[in-house]
A and B are shown apart, each in its own frame.
Chain A
Amino acid sequence: MHRVKVRVAEDALDANATIAAANRADFDRAGVAVVNLMSAPGAGKTTVLERILGDGPTIGDGVRVGVLEGDVQGSLDADRLAHLHVPVVQLDTGSGFGGECHLDANMVRSALPLLPLDDLDLLIVENVGNLVCPAEFRIGEDARIMVSSVAEGDDKPLKYPLMFRTCELVVVNKVDLLEHVDFDLDRFFYHLQAVHPGVPHLEVSARTGQGIDALRAWLARLPDRVGAPA
């Protein structure tokens, strides 16, 4: 036996990227825009979703919405969304080594046959609450939204730069609590600028409804991007 060095020079996540591209192509063919909704546990993703979808199965000018739930706690979040009049598909993230901390392209691919893509214009994928792993794995989405809450530290962008760098929109939730918490919005935006200059952001409260219309409008515009030249 002797040893030989083999040059590889390949991104370790290329296999995931290939499947993500296949997902993206399938979504594009079906005319469905996909948004990957990410946050730390407890930032309020599910409550924000309930607010956005509370008025019915469409948003904006008749944009038909569906939800894909990735949830480490079983179907808790899916159950919370069950009363909404939108299709909700639950993805079991419990299988696979380390697979429970994020969704990857392959897991989303396995859910494709369960999704009524022909009846949708927008699919919102609620990722697992985690600021590290979801940032690494593309799922074939058109856009990523990161929900941060004022109940967390205003230095979050500096601690999780990859997550904040890979999103197209940052939503700051629970702004109704600002006077009760030690969270400086200006400092947060300063740190956000430091890791992702120019990224748009919205201040919302899923509890009071503040900013939800603006978020709904942002989401409702997303299907226009599908098939449009980048």
Chain B
Amino acid sequence: MHEFSIASAVVATAAKHAGGRRVTVVSLRLGALRQVVPDALAFAFAIVSRETVCDGARLTWESVPVRVRCAPCDRTSTLERLPLRCPRCGDGGVAVVAGEELEVESIEVEEEAACTA
């Protein structure tokens, strides 16, 4: 159900920026910490986008890995898995700088061809 709620939010965000035009592609950035299952999201998106400007649109996504910044080391590292700890010094007081995204990065919309005369 997580994916359904998120899919609804994605459709609403895309529709807001589509300005009434038909949306053909919605591109997302999904942080690894959000635990979104892309296939489940695509399935939910196909259902909740029915009869909206996103009906039939393709969903694409880029996975954003978790990056943490360690103050003692003055260094940013990418983590493959939990724990959220600095891989260099083991410090647990790291700040998450990436990996929590749930962002609509862009959309592709259909437009009447501009007059070239």
Contact = CB atoms under 8 A, between A and B. Distances in A.
A13 interface: yes
A117 interface: no
A48 to B, nearest CB: 24
A179 interface: no
B83 A193 contact: yes
A16 B9 contact: yes
Interface in A105-123: none
Contacts of A132: 1-2, 35
B112 to A, nearest CB: 7
A197 B92 contact: yes
Interface in B73-117: 82-85, 92-94, 100-113
**Chain B facing A: main interface SS:** mixed
B64 interface: no
A191 B34 CA distance: 18
A5 B103 CA distance: 16
- Interface residues of A toward B: which range? 35 or more
Given A1-B111, A10-B13, A12-B10, A101 B83 contact: no
B1 to A, nearest CB: 4
Contacts of B63: none
Interface stretch (A84-92, A144-152, A158-166): A158-166
Interface residues of B, number: 43
Interface in A1-33: 1-16
A14 B35 contact: no
A3 B28 CA distance: 18
Contact of B18 (A6, A104, A165, A195): A6
Interface in A154-199: 158, 160-162, 165, 191, 193-198
Nearest to A137: B5
A16 B35 CA distance: 19
A227 interface: no
Given A158-B82, A194-B83, 5 more contacts: A3-B110, A4-B109, A4-B111, A12-B28, A132-B1
Interface of B: 1-2, 4-10, 12-14, 16-18, 24, 28, 33-35, 44, 48, 82-85, 92-94, 100-113
22 contacts: A1-B113, A2-B113, A3-B109, A4-B111, A5-B108, A6-B18, A8-B106, A9-B103, A9-B106, A12-B10, A12-B28, A12-B103, A97-B8, A98-B48, A100-B1, A102-B5, A133-B5, A136-B2, A158-B82, A162-B33, A191-B83, A194-B82
Q: Which 4 A-B pairs have the closest CB atoms?
A: A194-B83, A98-B4, A197-B92, A101-B1
